[in-house]
Amino acid sequence: MEPATVLEALNKYLAEVEAILSRFTHTRDRIAISQEDNYRFRAIVTELTDLLRDHVPGSAAHIRMIVNYYNEGVGNFYNSSSYASVKEVIGALPAVITRIERNPGLFAQSTGPIDASLDQKKLLDSLGRIVLKFHAVAVQLRSRHSERATLDINDEYDVQDLMHALLRLYFDDIRPEEWVPSYAGASSRTDFLLPQIDTVIETKKTRAGLNAKTIGEQLIIDIARYKRHPQCRRLVCFVYDPEGRVANPSGIESDLNSGNHGIDVRVFILPKASG
């Protein structure tokens, strides 16, 4: 995309966001955004991050800034963008526009979507090792001297706690329970957002009554939700199945990992039954 085209798109987004800010309603109790504008602002943030990521080299800092403003703005009782967050995004856009105008050679090396940096690739590899070694760590924790108390993985909260601890080995910025935009009339929270690699981690644990069909349906809904999150380029779904309740985990993984979801989806159902 040519610089002039990018600038034209950015200026249109700026004008649209300014118009949204002007339509906030002021009451005695709160300053509110309309539902229609709330949906549109969320879409604008997503489109902006895609535009910068795909066509403007060196935009990681601006992307993170814009997405952080959005995330902070929706972390409220109403799950809607705040006046301050919209205003902050308006403040960030001119900086992006000025950067492009002042650097005519910025696009000289741009040949399409920007690949993950070496540091990001290392972090992604580390995340993969955490997922693959999770069960081995959980088993090791059961074996302590003098039968001292340990962490038994009994439910999803235990999975989240251990996952959080393991993520600390490689990630400095881990955001638990990040707000997810509403989907099908409901809103939810993610388990973890890793802004350094634009990745959301969703964890589950199998149990009686949670069969393969139900897990597959839940994951499909999760994917539909998370693809609307402005900073989710990648969704890692980790289903911990120590009792081997899922009969064909590889089939579910293959079906979901190969789908065209609009974001990179990686589903892991572990450990796999041997033999």
Reported pTM = 0.65
Q: Largest alpha-carbon pair distance within the chain?
A: 69
Q: How far apart are CA 252 and CA 121, in angstroms?
A: 26
The position carrying tokens 């895609």 is 50
For residue 234, give Cα distances in angstroms to 64, 69, 169, 268, 274: 15, 20, 20, 13, 29
**Is residue 269 within 8 Å of residue 241, measured between CB atoms?**
yes
- pLDDT the model gives residue 180: 59
- pLDDT the model gives residue 144: 77
Ranges for all domains in the chain classified under CATH 3.40.1350: 118-270
Fold classified for 118-270? Trna Endonuclease; Chain: A, domain 1 (3.40.1350)
The position carrying tokens 């994951």 is 219
Question: Which secondary-structure segment (H or E) carries 205?
Answer: strand 199-205
- pLDDT the model gives residue 227: 80
Q: Which backbone phi and psi does 248 adopt, to 5 degrees?
A: -130, 70
In tens digits, what is the pLDDT along the chain, a chain of 275 residues? Answer: 788 899 999 999 999 999 999 999 988 888 899 989 998 998 899 889 888 888 888 787 888 888 888 878 876 677 788 999 999 999 999 999 999 998 877 776 544 444 556 677 888 899 999 999 999 999 998 887 777 778 789 999 999 999 999 999 999 889 886 655 555 445 556 689 898 888 999 999 998 888 788 888 888 988 888 887 777 888 999 999 999 988 889 989 988 888 788 888 999 999 987 64
- pLDDT the model gives residue 150: 80
- pLDDT the model gives residue 128: 93
- pLDDT the model gives residue 89: 94
3-state secondary structure of 238: strand
Helices and strands per DSSP (H, E), number in the chain: 8, 9
- pLDDT the model gives residue 112: 46
- pLDDT the model gives residue 116: 55
The DSSP secondary-structure symbol of 183 reads E
